Amino acid sequence: MTANPPFDLDTVDRLLTTTKAVRRRLDLTRPVDRETVVECIRLASYSPNASNAQEWHWVVVDDPELRALVGEQYRSCTVPVVTKMLATKEEAGDEAGARISRSIIYLAERMAEVPVLVIPCYDVAAASARYGNLIGPERATAEMEPGMFASIYPAVWSFLLALRSRGLGSTLTTAHQSDQPAMAEILGIPSTWFQTALIPVAHTTGGDFKPSPRAPVEDTIVWNTHS
């Protein structure tokens, strides 16, 4: 442990361990102001990204009619699939897994009511033009390379941390990706932008959050070589 850490570690550790998937405790009645969303995106923009090219676009939806369409797209991609997963988990007696599936369905059925919906997009066309022939021909579709994913998900996570630090809650969701063209059509998103997530943003209800269960980290570490 550093003798004089440059941060208040209790606060930092609490932020890192309690920024979690919030679904049932999103306040669907309280508006979220645009300035706070912009501030959180600004904080997220300090994330590592290849060559500091910042090939991201943050599509922020707060218009109620568009939210209804976006929410329905998410619901229709999510509920049928997760309902099947729930049945499988219930049959297997996996109560922890079933609880997550029920929570996912709960949010999916209310996604349209969440005050702000954010879709961070990665500009694959811009990245492939920049990489040139390192990754093959320039792309007319949003076909992602590992380095592209790695250049935006740190920013997505920083965005979630920044939201949490300001009393807002969220969940990283990706279920809508099974039909990205439908979302692109609703919001005019270019086909060369990969929609990395759909992030609901709302104030939270109730008290503070506890860390989610995690496996002992010692079980996940390989020191030097795997035997």
The span of 100-108, 119-127, 162-170, 185-193 binding ligand FMN (CB under 6 A) equals 100-108
Closer residue to ligand FMN in complex, CB, 131/142? 142
- Minimum distance from residue 107 beta carbon to ligand FMN (Å): 5
Residue 117 CB, shortest distance to ligand FMN, in Å, is 13
Classify strands 56-61 and 116-123 as parallel, antiparallel or unpaired: antiparallel
Residues in 6-45 that interact with ligand FMN by CB under 6 A: 20-21, 23
Residue 82 Cβ, how far from ligand FMN at the closest point, in Å?
Answer: 8
100 forms part of the interface with ligand FMN (CB under 6 A): yes
* The token pair that represents 7 in the structure block: 């941060």
Name the residue nearer to ligand FMN (CB basis): 167 or 213.
Answer: 213
* Longest alpha-carbon distance in the chain: 56
The 3 state secondary structure assigned to the chain is CCCCCCCCHHHHHHHHHHCCECCCCECCCCCCCHHHHHHHHHHHCCCCCHHHCCCEEEEEECCHHHHHHHHHHHHHHHHHHHHHHHHHHHHCCCHHHHHHHHHHHHHHCCHHHCCEEEEEEEEHHHHHHHHHHHHCCCCCCCCCCHHHHHCCHHHHHHHHHHHHHCCEEECCECHHHHHHHHHHHHHCCCCCEEECCEEEEEEECCCCCCCCCCCCHHHHCCCCCCC
Q: Which is nearer to ligand FMN, 103 or 191 (CB)?
A: 103
Considering beta carbons, is residue 190 or 211 the nearer one to ligand FMN? 211
Closer residue to ligand FMN (CB): 108 or 127: 108
Q: Looking at 42-50, 99-107, 181-189, 218-226, which segment touches ligand FMN (CB under 6 A)?
A: 99-107
Closer residue to ligand FMN in complex, CB, 37/104: 104
Interface positions, 139-198, toward ligand FMN (CB under 6 A): 171-175
Report the chain's C-alpha Rg in angstroms. 19
How many positions of this chain bind ligand FMN (CB under 6 A)? 12
Binding residues for ligand FMN, rule: CB under 6 A, are 20-21, 23, 100, 104, 107, 171-175, 212
